[in-house]
Amino acid sequence: MEAAMKAFGRVLTAFGLLVLFSFRADGHDPSMANHEWFNKQEMNAAARKRLGVPWKSCCDNGDVFKTRFRVGEDRSDQWQYLKDGEWKTIPPDIIKEEDTPDRTPVLFINRPTGVELCFFLPRGGL
């Protein structure tokens, strides 16, 4: 029984590492497709002012957050993303109208604080 539990533990650990590494690929990884595009993105001036940050880059101080997106529940002109099982509203001052390389939504979140930095609207649908 103990050997089976240890084997099960190793399988869970390996699966956990696989999941962790699958979500860590971001714009900082030079092997990632469109690396240059991610590194060139800048925050909107209104968001920088609201957050009180001196830096402009979405990527230098944040990572792409892989998740699901939706239009607000009330069908207003509001976007939301799923984080920790809860739908969170994307602040309007981080929304950017520019297209992404693969026409999908992209959200940058600050690594230490979890604050949203930049959100690119999807052009290819959700």
pLDDT digits (tens, 9 = 90+) for 55-113: 999 988 899 999 999 987 766 778 999 999 999 999 999 999 888 998 899 999 998 99
Strand partners of residue 64: 108
- CA quadruple 80, 82, 85, 89: dihedral positive or negative? negative
Reported as half-sphere exposure (CB side, CA atoms, 13 A), residue 81 has a value of 22
Q: How confident is the model at residue 17, as a pLDDT? A: 29
Strands 116-120 and 79-83: unpaired
pLDDT digits (tens, 9 = 90+) for 24-39: 344 556 667 788 899 9
Residues 6+ apart with CB under 8 A from 101: 33, 34, 37
Residue 23 has pLDDT above 90, yes or no: no
Residue 11 has pLDDT above 80, yes or no: no
Residues 6+ apart with CB under 8 A from 66: 23
Quote the CA–CA distance of 124 and 126 in Å, as a whole number: 7
Q: How confident is the model at residue 20, as a pLDDT? A: 30
Mean pLDDT over the full length of the chain:
78
